[in-house]
Structure 1
Amino acid sequence: MAVTVFAARVRWNVRALGFNPLVRASDRLEALAVLGVLVVALFTVPVAARAEAQVYEAGVRTADEQAHSRHSIEAVAVDGSATLPADFEGSYYVRAQWREGTRLRTEQVVDPATIRAGDPLTIWLDDTGTVVAAPLTPQDAKLSALGAAGTVWVAIVACTALLAFLIRKRLDRTREHGWDRELRLLAHNDDGWANRHT
Structure 2
Amino acid sequence: MSTDQTPTPHWWRLVSWNRNPLMRTSDRLDFAAVVVAVTFVLIMVPLASAFGVSTYSGLAEQSLAEHQDRHKEPAVIIDDPQQVVAWGTQGRSPETEMRATVEWSAPNGTARSSSVEVGPGAQRGDTVDVWVDTYGNASEAPAAAAENAAIAIGAALSVWVGAAAVACLLFFGFRWMNTRNRMRQWDREWKDFGHAPEWPIG
**TM bucket normalised to smaller:** 0.7 to 0.9
Q: Is 1:62 aligned to residue 67 of structure 2?
A: no
User: What's 2:35 paired with?
Assistant: 35
Alignment length (residue pairs) = 184
Q: Is 1:159 aligned to residue 166 of structure 2?
A: yes
User: What's 1:96 paired with?
Assistant: 101
For the Cα contact (< 8 Å) 2:81–2:98, is it kept in 1? no
The CA distance in 2 between the partners of 1:194 and 1:155, in whole Å, is: 50
Change (3 A) 1:70 1:106: same
Aligned residue type for 2:52: E
- Aligned ranges 1:151-190 → 2 under 5 Å: 151-190=158-197
Moved more, 96-105 or 120-129: 96-105
Match of 1:107 among 100, 104, 114: 114
Match of 1:132 among 130, 133, 139: 139
The CA distance in 2 between the partners of 1:162 and 1:68, in whole Å, is: 46
For the Cα contact (< 8 Å) 2:84–2:98, is it kept in 1? yes
Aligned residue type for 2:48: A
Aligned residue type for 1:148: A
Aligned residue type for 2:32: L
Cα offsets for 1:119-154 (capped at 9, x unmatched): 765432122222222101222222222222222222
Higher helix share: 1
- Cα shift at 1:169: 0.7
- Cα shift at 1:81: 2.7
TM-score normalised over the length of structure 1: 0.74
Q: Is 1:81 aligned to residue 83 of structure 2?
A: yes
TM-score normalised over the length of structure 2: 0.73
Change (3 A) 1:161 1:14: farther
Moved more, 44-53 or 181-190: 181-190
The CA distance in 1 between the partners of 2:161 and 2:13, in whole Å, is: 24
Change (3 A) 1:134 1:60: same
Match of 2:154 among 140, 147, 156: 147
Report sequence identity in percent: 25
- Cα shift at 1:48: 1.6
Flag structure 1 segments of 5+ consecutive residues without an equivalent: 1-10
- Cα shift at 1:25: 0.7
